[in-house]
Amino acid sequence: MKKLSTFTTRAAALAVSVLAAAPVFGADAPATLKDTFQNDFLMGVAINNRQIMEEDTNGVALIVSQYNAISPENVMKWEAIHPRAGTNGYDFGPADAYVAFGEKHHMMVVGHTLAWHSQTPAWVFRADDGRQLQGTNEADRQILLDRLHEHIQTVVGRYKGRVKVWDVVNEALSDGGENETNVLRRQSPWVRILGQEFIEKAFQWAHEADPDCILRYNDYSIENGPKRKRLITLIKSLQAKHIPVMAIGSQTHANLNWPTPQLEDEALTDIASLGLPIHITELDVDSSQRGQRNQSADVAANAQSGGGGQVSAADQKLAEQYGNLFRAFVNHRKDIKLVTFWGVNDRDSWRRNGNPLLFDGNWQPKPAFDAVIKAAKPVIATTASSKDSAH
């Protein structure tokens, strides 16, 4: 009871500071994510067009007060930034505005994503006469490699020195259990036409275009044993060939029961054995009834999933799961450099049926926000007194 009323008071204080965009100082200042975890990792959030354009002013106030890194939810995907073939094929406007937003607000700017099977226009995988490019045809392979090269050179080159981290390759690993023998996702046209070569070339070309940029391999459900094994196989093979893969992105589209604290801990330990920093790149926790069956971030699967109503006591269960996850992140803070939420509030979320974020549709912090703050290790600093007074 006491906890709940304290939360309500803090929520109200935070809401006032967010909505009025007025900083609150002194012992009553509400804790923020970026300050609370400043000695652990950067705190990021994926932002959409209305936030980039600063039309969603409440969203912007929350972004600026809580986070110190941003990811582009959609504006840098191939279909958005490079929708057409040919010399006039690029639309840089929204991506330019995104990068300018990050610089204006002194946030670390992440790029997402260069090579992915989804949200990539069909023309990329077709010859000029409209037929599908074939992996068995050397000339077809060269067409696709040339397109990938030109795309990466242009996009990474344009934001050189400004985008600090790029998701170079997204979701190239096979799903499925132990019986799935392919390391790479066969349904991806990149894999079908080029095999592992597209991954190797994408990292090399991104590195050439911006040698100082942190280049990330990003995927989902790599907590699960079989997929994690594939990740380790792939990354070790890249490392053996001196391919410049520099960080592992774990999307972490979770639900209330998955991953368990043990699985998360085991996965982080295992992934860290690659010797690369880990970024939690797309964190959310689906709390809808149907979302509990889903351990996939496949976009189609998530369009149908979610819904069926909220599980009972969803807010409390969400808080527990977020507490579990952040305790694991803090325990692995030696290896984790960035934790990014996939969306600002529940209403913005791609899994909005699952109310998966820390802030509700009115930008108010939920009990999960409090649970995340509580998962931090105590810091002996000026913020300590405000934290003490909050609990």
Among 29, 297, 314, 371, binds ligand XIL (CB under 6 A): 297
Candidate list 54, 150, 282, 320, residue with the active-site label:
282
- Extract the tokens encoding 11: 């929520």
Residue 132, SS3?
Answer: strand
CA distance linking residue 76 with residue 110, whole number of Å = 10
CA distance linking residue 219 with residue 141, whole number of Å = 24
CB 65 within 8 A of CB 16: no
Q: Which is nearer to ligand XIL, 293 or 333 (CB)?
A: 293
Report, in Å, the least distance between residue 115 CB and ligand XIL. 12
Q: Site map for ligand XIL, 163-182, x if CB under 6 A? A: -------x------------
Q: Which is nearer to ligand XIL, 17 or 302 (CB)?
A: 302
Q: Which is nearer to ligand XIL, 49 or 134 (CB)?
A: 49
The residue sitting closest to ligand XIL, measured at its beta carbon, is: 350
DSSP state of 131: P
**Restricting to residues 198-217, which ones interact with ligand XIL according to CB under 6 A?**
none
Q: Phi-psi bin for 271: left (phi > 0), alpha (psi -120 to 50), beta?
A: alpha
**Restricting to residues 335-354, which ones interact with ligand XIL according to CB under 6 A?**
350
276 contributes a contact to ligand XIL by CB under 6 A: no
Q: Which is nearer to ligand XIL, 79 or 315 (CB)?
A: 79
Among 36, 74, 250, 353, binds ligand XIL (CB under 6 A): 74
Residue 336, SS3?
Answer: strand
Q: Which is nearer to ligand XIL, 99 or 297 (CB)?
A: 297
Candidate list 171, 200, 223, 264, residue with the active-site label:
171
328 CB neighbour count, 10 Å cutoff: 23
Residue 186, SS3?
Answer: coil
Give alpha helix (H) positions in the chain: 2-20, 33-36, 49-52, 57-66, 78-81, 93-104, 138-158, 189-194, 197-209, 225-240, 261-272, 299-304, 314-331, 367-374, 384-390
Report, in Å, the least distance between residue 283 CB and ligand XIL. 11
Q: Which is nearer to ligand XIL, 110 or 243 (CB)?
A: 110
Active site residue 282: yes
Among 4, 21, 53, 299, binds ligand XIL (CB under 6 A): 299
Active site residue 200: no
Contacts with ligand XIL: how many residues (CB under 6 A)?
Answer: 8
CA distance linking residue 291 with residue 365, whole number of Å = 22
CB-based contacts of 227: which residues, under 8 Å, 6+ apart? 173, 174, 175, 176, 219, 221
120 contributes a contact to ligand XIL by CB under 6 A: no
78 contributes a contact to ligand XIL by CB under 6 A: no
Report, in Å, the least distance between residue 163 CB and ligand XIL. 16
Which residues are identified as catalytic? 171, 282
Residues that bind ligand XIL (CB under 6 A): 73-74, 170, 251, 282, 297, 299, 350
